Amino acid sequence: MNALLNTYSRFPVEFVEGKGSKLFDKNGREYLDLLSGIAVTGFGHRHKEITKAAEEQINKLWHVSNLFESSPQQELAGKLVESSGLDSVFFCNSGTEANEAAIKFARKWGGNKKKIISTYGSFHGRTMGSLSATGKESLWKGFSPMLEEFSFAEYNNIESIKNIIDENTCAIMVEPVQGENGVIIPEEGYLVKLRQLCDENNLLLILDEVQTGIGRTGKIFAYQWENIKPDLVTLAKGIANGLPLGAVVCSKEISGIIEPGDHGSTFGGNPVSVAAANKVFDLLNAETLDDIIYKGNLIKTKLNEIESPLIISIRGKGLMIAIEFNKPVSKELIPRLLKQGVVVGGAGESIIRLYPSFLITEGEISNFIEIIKKVINEF
């Protein structure tokens, strides 16, 4: 009997152990993990320093209410503020919770202005507020009506956003790179133009960095590639390398209007997750970020050398990479790669996504290239 609710289409593999970029199933078989729990375990599985930090904390204190002071939270918030150039931090447990909080904060700041503009193809989460901001009608089926005062524009199209700004608009909410939509990278200058548009119209700029943040693109935050400063940044996934933690990093404008009781989270900023996250930030240095860029470029170069009429394009930023095919083959290729001992993700019917560990080796990259070349050619 399967007592789990049927919310996932699961592969018939059960992983019971991980080490670095490797996963091991219950039969002892080894797999190369190029999904990282969907951009979560950036520093791989069982990283010694992160594991030690979490173990030391779990042996002291698992949980305490946010009604009391927390030095580890203050330490992590300080690192987020310093690296982002923003002002304050709210901790929660996940990306969808971070986006829910950002939506609430933006609407409080907006006063009578409540509309938030998002983009088609976006993914901001599955709770009602974040789902209402998600530009994929297929995910709304069965859960409508969505919350009011959300509008959608074309991604990477400033004019499309300009056309729907009105006197009721308080914020624009976008991903610096659309992850769930297939690693869609906007043209250079897109975020700069969004920042200018928000400044001209007195709007907040909310950047959903749940997938792109914490080094995934080769910067701590993906918006740093364009040297701008948003008003709200949402984070989760890689921030604690697999332990549940989310965050909203806020500008002074937001910090000035949020009061006790406006929002909260029982488990947000859990001591064990925060201990892991503090170590993640210690490891996320300039050398690591340079290495992410180098390895991402190496993977893209090697993928581009594969001669196959099936492949349309290879795209990515840092270790956030997509392979797009000219046919709906991803649902067949992904299980074939799994059978060959490689774990990857999909995005729609014709895209494979790669989110490797930051610590993946050149040897592991070469092994992957040989395997995917073989699988594509056989297909």
192-219 pLDDT tens trace: 999 999 999 999 999 999 999 999 999 9
296-321 pLDDT tens trace: 999 999 999 999 999 999 999 999 99
2 inside domain: no
DSSP string, 49-81: HHHHHHHHHHTT-S---TTS--HHHHHHHHHHH
- The C-alpha atoms of residue 199 and residue 148 are separated, in whole angstroms, by 24
Phi, psi of 52 (to 5 degrees): -60, -45
Query: Does 279 share its domain with 290?
Result: no
Q: Do 106 and 252 touch, CB atoms closer than 8 A? A: no
**Helix H or strand E segment including 15:** strand 15-19
Query: Does 90 share its domain with 125?
Result: yes
Across all residues in the chain, what is the average pLDDT? Answer: 97
State which of 239, 257, 283 marks the end of a domain.
283
Q: Do 211 and 219 touch, CB atoms closer than 8 A? A: no
Q: How many residues does this entry show for the chain?
A: 379
Query: Does 223 share its domain with 110?
Result: yes
20 inside domain: yes
Residue-range definition of the domain harbouring residue 160: 49-283
Give pairs for 84-88: CB < 8 Å, separation 24+. 84/220, 84/221, 84/229, 84/233, 84/249, 85/229, 86/229, 86/230, 86/233, 86/249, 86/250, 86/251, 87/250, 87/251, 87/252, 87/254, 87/255, 88/249, 88/250, 88/254, 88/255
54-77 pLDDT tens trace: 999 999 999 999 999 999 999 999
Q: What is the CATH number of the domain that holds 247?
A: 3.40.640.10
State which of 235, 261, 283 marks the end of a domain.
283
Sign of CA dihedral 96, 102, 106, 109: positive
150 has catalytic annotation: no
Query: Does 141 share its domain with 95?
Result: yes
Query: Does 373 share its domain with 278?
Result: no
Please choose, from the candidates 14, 42, 40, the residue with its C-alpha nearest in 3D space to the C-alpha of residue 29. 14
Query: Does 127 share its domain with 273?
Result: yes
Query: Does 364 share its domain with 321?
Result: yes
60 inside domain: yes
308 inside domain: yes
Check residue 261 and give its pLDDT: 95
237 has catalytic annotation: yes
- The C-alpha atoms of residue 135 and residue 289 are separated, in whole angstroms, by 31
Read off the pLDDT of each residue in 95-120 and give the average, rounded to a whole number.
98
Catalytic residue, chosen from 22, 115, 237, 317, is: 237
Check residue 369 and give its pLDDT: 98
Residue the block writes with tokens 């998002």: 118
What's the number of domains the chain is made of?
Answer: 2
38 inside domain: no
- The C-alpha atoms of residue 140 and residue 331 are separated, in whole angstroms, by 22
Query: Does 125 share its domain with 194?
Result: yes
Which residue(s) pair with 18 in the sheet? Answer: 23
State which of 261, 283, 305 marks the end of a domain.
283
Q: Do 232 and 106 touch, CB atoms closer than 8 A? A: yes
121 inside domain: yes
87 has catalytic annotation: no
Check residue 379 and give its pLDDT: 81
Pull the structure tokens for residue 142: 């069965």
Pull the structure tokens for residue 169: 């608009």
Catalytic residue, chosen from 91, 123, 150, 358, is: 123
371 inside domain: yes
Q: Is the pLDDT of residue 1 over 80?
A: no
Pull the structure tokens for residue 184: 């869609």
114-151 pLDDT tens trace: 999 999 999 999 999 999 999 999 999 999 999 999 99
- The C-alpha atoms of residue 176 and residue 209 are separated, in whole angstroms, by 7
329-374 pLDDT tens trace: 999 999 999 999 999 999 989 999 999 999 999 999 999 999 999 9
Pull the structure tokens for residue 221: 């935050």
From residue 15, how far is each of 18, 35, 45, 146 by CA, in Å? Answer: 8, 13, 12, 36
Query: Does 255 share its domain with 297?
Result: no
Using the CB atoms, write b or e for 190-200: b if 16+ within 10 Å. bbebbbebbee
Query: Does 263 share its domain with 355?
Result: no
Pull the structure tokens for residue 1: 């009997």
Query: Does 239 share its domain with 308?
Result: no
Catalytic residue, chosen from 43, 91, 152, 208, is: 208
Pull the structure tokens for residue 274: 């925060």
Query: Does 243 share its domain with 337?
Result: no
- The C-alpha atoms of residue 89 and residue 75 are separated, in whole angstroms, by 11
| Region at 47 (left for phi over 0; alpha for psi -120 to 50; beta for the rest) | beta
Q: What is the CATH number of the domain that holds 298?
A: 3.90.1150.10
